[in-house]
Amino acid sequence: MAIIHNGFIDRKFHDSFKDTGLNDVDIATTKMYKGVKPMWKQLGFDSNNKDRPNNLFYWNNIIPRNYTFENVTGISTNDVLVPEEGDGVGIVGGSRTPRTSYREITLPENQSQEWGGTNEFSQSYYYPVLPRIDKYGVFTDVINQPVVFGNRDINSWDQDDDSAMITNLDDNNPDLILNIDFDQTTTTDLIDKTNLSKIHYNQDFEVSLDDDLRLKTDSLIIPDGIEKNNSEQAF
């Protein structure tokens, strides 16, 4: 039998994104530009020196996935082992509250709190920039770093960045050739804000042959709903 279709997917690229951050992404902003828009510019950084891996503020100078607060300098932990009954410490008989071992955490407020360790370019890890943690383990409002991320006008670790290309819903860049508006109720209502393209949303469906051996759709295609609350969307 003759081959009528080889498929669009090259098997050699199968699982290309395995173990990468791309597996954790839900696309809520879809745009296309003419020309090349480097990542540092899309993220809102002000100069291309943020695209140099040996720069402390390099956009991808992010802590490893397995990092926790224990990897912050100045914070120390100590496992406290409580002696078992009969070791001569505390009450050894009668009714008492059970004692369990615990981890003691020390958070000195007068020391620098930065990410420990270095990346493959021998540069200290920098992102994410978080406020200082007080001795009670609570975030304060103090941030000692000059750059939070991207736009320099962003001065709070949890502030929304509405000006960076990657999150700007009202982008008017002259090189923009596709900007899908997700502020709709269903997927059939999707539009291109640039008015250069008409959006047609495709879904999977089953096909079969009718009595005349013509292809027909066997699925009832129902439009998908869209989350309109920006704070609930991916970015």
Do 191 and 108 have their domain in common?
A: no
Model confidence at 211: pLDDT above 50:
yes
Do 88 and 131 have their domain in common?
A: yes
- Which of residues 115, 144, 173 is at a domain's end? 144
More confident site: 49 or 81:
49
Flag whether 71 is in a domain: yes
Do 103 and 138 have their domain in common?
A: yes
Flag whether 80 is in a domain: yes
Nearest to 157 by CA among 134, 137, 127, 135: 127
Do 60 and 138 have their domain in common?
A: yes
Mean pLDDT of 209-230: 83
Do 112 and 180 have their domain in common?
A: no
**pLDDT value of residue 5:** 47
- For residue 142, the tally of other CB atoms under 10 A from its CB is 11
Do 63 and 121 have their domain in common?
A: yes
Do 133 and 187 have their domain in common?
A: no
Model confidence at 23: pLDDT above 70:
no
Nearest to 177 by CA among 61, 33, 42: 33
Do 133 and 203 have their domain in common?
A: no
Do 228 and 177 have their domain in common?
A: yes
Q: Report the C-alpha gap between 13 and 25 in whole angstroms.
A: 19
Range of 196's domain? 21-37+165-235
- Which of residues 96, 115, 144 is at a domain's end? 144
pLDDT band at 174 (very low <50, low <70, confident <90, very high): very high
pTM of the model: 0.66
Nearest to 150 by CA among 7, 19, 40: 40
Do 79 and 28 have their domain in common?
A: no
Do 206 and 176 have their domain in common?
A: yes
CA distance readout (Å), 172 to 36, 129, 176, 194, 215: 16, 29, 7, 9, 43
Flag whether 62 is in a domain: yes
Paired with 102 in beta bridges are: 80
Structurally, the chain folds into a number of domains equal to 2
Do 129 and 84 have their domain in common?
A: yes
Model confidence at 109: pLDDT above 80:
no
Flag whether 169 is in a domain: yes
